Amino acid sequence: MNNSTTYEVDSAGINFTSPSVQYIPTTVPSSQYTSYESLYSEVTGLLGATQLMYTRKGSQLNLQPIGSNATDKDIIPSYTTYFNDSWHVKPNFTLTYGLGWSVEMPPYELNGSQVLLVDSSNQPISALDFLSQRQTAALAGSSYTPEIGYTLIRNTGDGPKYPYNP
């Protein structure tokens, strides 16, 4: 993971054609100004923007120091079993049979930093209910656009373990 400051080289912050001073040589056709500005910025290493990744931690999403790693400890519980047998019915005929069973539960994050889509009262949004209410509103000639957001899964109503009911 790259959590260091990243610098972008571009001409976004430079005014090459200000009214008082022209920084583009007169030999460059006006149709090529944009290309010239981009190439000039790349060659000279002009910085146009910086990017920085901020990490947050805990139930209140406290901002961590610059350069802190973002880590999650996720578990995907899965259970599998398989039984098989072979039966030599005749010397030239073998019957092989088996039974397999497997279940994979939804992933969950050990520290509770998994996010969940919620409404304005901090209750999880069910896709089926959301689409149903949206359809009802559309059929009535209005719109259904509630305030929605994301919160940590343990900060919602009953703080479920999984992001959806398996």
What ranges do the domains of the chain cover?
Answer: 6-53, 74-108, 111-155
Q: pTM value?
A: 0.51
For residues 7-17, average pLDDT:
62
Residues whose CB is less than 8 angstroms from the CB of residue 109 and which lie 6 or more positions away in sequence, other chains included: 72, 73, 74, 75, 153
Look up residue 148 and give its two tokens: 């929605």
The values of phi and psi at residue 157, to 5°, are -15, -90
Q: How many helices and strands in the chain, by DSSP H and E?
A: 2, 10
Say what the pLDDT of residue 24 is.
77
Say what the pLDDT of residue 69 is.
81
The pLDDT tens digits of the residues spanning 59-94 come to 777 888 888 887 778 899 999 999 999 999 998 999
Has residue 148 got a pLDDT over 70?
A: yes
Has residue 97 got a pLDDT over 80?
A: yes
Say what the pLDDT of residue 22 is.
59
The values of phi and psi at residue 148, to 5°, are -130, 160
Which of the two residues, 63 and 131, has the higher pLDDT score? Answer: 131
The partner residues of 118 in beta bridges, in order of sequence, read 124, 149
Say what the pLDDT of residue 102 is.
96
Q: Give residue for tokens 């910025």.
A: 41
